[in-house]
Amino acid sequence: MSLTLAFDVYGTLIDTQGVVSQLEAWIGDRASGFSQCWREKQLEYSFRRGLMNEYKNFASCTRDALEYCCQSQAVDLSEAQKQALLACYARLPVFADVKQGLEALQAQGHHLYAFSNGTAEAVDGLLSHAGVRDYFLDIVSVDEIATFKPDPATYRHFLRRSSSKAEQSWLISSNPFDVIGARNFGLQAAWVKRSDGAVFDPWGVEPVVTVSGIPQLAAYLK
């Protein structure tokens, strides 16, 4: 049976730690910690804006989070360096398993969508640069309804845009908050555990399946 698959992008298909190499040139062995702080604050700002109903797009959250990390970690980056880091977000790499997995899922007849907190324009450019845009029927962005995952409205919006039913739709994400949000809404969901040390939030809501990469999801759904 063909399923509708909604792929989270940042952290699931795209490696947000791809900025580390650029950071290392400027701040050395502090780069990894800085990058992690940036990612965590980026997500926190999206959550807070969603709760406050004070929407600004994901690029704005990313920009504000970078400013916070520079201040909190006492890293003095020039404006040109900050702009270079933000530009890195337009050309982050996919994880090594992604193309093989997407190709297998497409061959199985599933309907693949990118479903992101990022704007459709940003995600389109990112996936195109990474060479995986053609696997997706469409890009569904929360920007279209001015809120962020895991707001239930975002999953409802996805079903509407993809003309799919909850019982036939899967959310695939490396972010536990996204998986829990989707399961809470009534979607099927797979957690992509991208590192051995990743911990799923102990909320009593579990993914249908946990996989280490996209090919393992294809094997499960075959």
Regarding whether 20 and 10 lie in a shared domain, the answer is no
Domain-terminating residue out of 88, 111, 126: 88
Regarding whether 130 and 44 lie in a shared domain, the answer is no
Regarding whether 79 and 101 lie in a shared domain, the answer is no
Regarding whether 139 and 205 lie in a shared domain, the answer is yes
Regarding whether 51 and 31 lie in a shared domain, the answer is yes
Regarding whether 216 and 146 lie in a shared domain, the answer is yes
Domain-terminating residue out of 88, 110, 145: 88
Regarding whether 10 and 64 lie in a shared domain, the answer is no
Domain that holds residue 56: 16-88
Percent of the chain clearing pLDDT 70 (strictly above): 100
Q: How many domains does the chain have?
A: 2
Regarding whether 109 and 83 lie in a shared domain, the answer is no
Catalytic residue among 8, 97, 151, 178: 8
Separation between Cα atoms, residue 6 and residue 113, nearest integer Å: 5
Is 29 one of the catalytic residues? no
Regarding whether 200 and 101 lie in a shared domain, the answer is yes
Residue range 88-113: average pLDDT?
Answer: 96
pTM over 0.75, yes/no: yes
Answer whether residue 23 shows pLDDT above 90: yes
**pLDDT on residue 67:** 98
Domain-terminating residue out of 58, 88, 118: 88
CA distances from 221 to 5, 13, 49, 61, 134 (A): 11, 18, 35, 34, 21
CATH number (domain holding residue 71):
1.10.150.240
Regarding whether 105 and 78 lie in a shared domain, the answer is no
Pairing of strands 169-173, 111-116: unpaired
Regarding whether 171 and 121 lie in a shared domain, the answer is yes
* Average confidence score pLDDT of the chain: 97
Residue 19 neighbours by CB under 8 Å, 6+ apart: 35, 38, 85, 88, 89, 92
Answer whether residue 98 shows pLDDT above 90: yes
Residue range 153-159: average pLDDT?
Answer: 98
Residue range 163-185: average pLDDT?
Answer: 98
Regarding whether 105 and 185 lie in a shared domain, the answer is yes
Q: Which two tokens stand for residue 63?
A: 């920009």
**pLDDT on residue 94:** 97
CATH number (domain holding residue 106):
3.40.50.1000
Answer whether residue 126 shows pLDDT above 90: yes
**pLDDT on residue 1:** 85
Residue range 193-220: average pLDDT?
Answer: 97
Answer whether residue 28 shows pLDDT above 90: yes
